[in-house]
Amino acid sequence: MHQDDGTRRTKLSIPLALLLFTLAGCGEGEQPQPEPSAQEPAGDMPGMVDMHRADMMDEMRTHMQSMDGIGMDSMRVMLPVHRQRVGNMLAQMNREMSDMNMAADGQWDATVDSIRADLTAMPRLPAEELQALMPPHRTRVMRLLEMHRSMMGGPGM
């Protein structure tokens, strides 16, 4: 009778293992769901756009601080990444403003134009000029982040 109990357990565990194996493989053909983006209307994902905006602001602030006081060789290496990050930030801010039907004012436009001019000039500048440009560039980026936060009604920086 002891052997029958073992056989019964084996007979029960094989179908159970097959069931678990089958269930584990059910989602293999499915495509991963995209992460929510700032392009989605806030009503679809309450709070997600605000959270994404705060993350972007924190990441940019950290990025700008990481560039403070670095040597010219390091700055030249970081420059393509910096230009891409700031360009992405500008595009995201424009999308958010457009999604909310918000018009930019003169101060916003002037700050964005100055930042874009910085990004365009940076690769061509000699080391001394690039080093001199970075503090006012950082000030402009931080000012734009603050203006954006203010316009969107988000938490303070």
* DSSP per position, 76-121: HHHHHHHHHHHHHHHHHHHHHHHHTTPPP-HHHHHHHHHHHHHHHH
Strands (E), the chain: none
| Separation of first and last alpha carbons in the chain | 74
* pLDDT higher than 50, residue 116: yes
- Over residues 18-52, the pLDDT tens digits come to 444 444 444 444 333 333 444 444 444 545 555 55
Residue 30: the pLDDT is: 39
The one-character DSSP state at 40 is S
What is the model's pTM? 0.63
Mean pLDDT of 133-147: 93
- Band (pLDDT 50/70/90 cuts) for residue 147 is very high
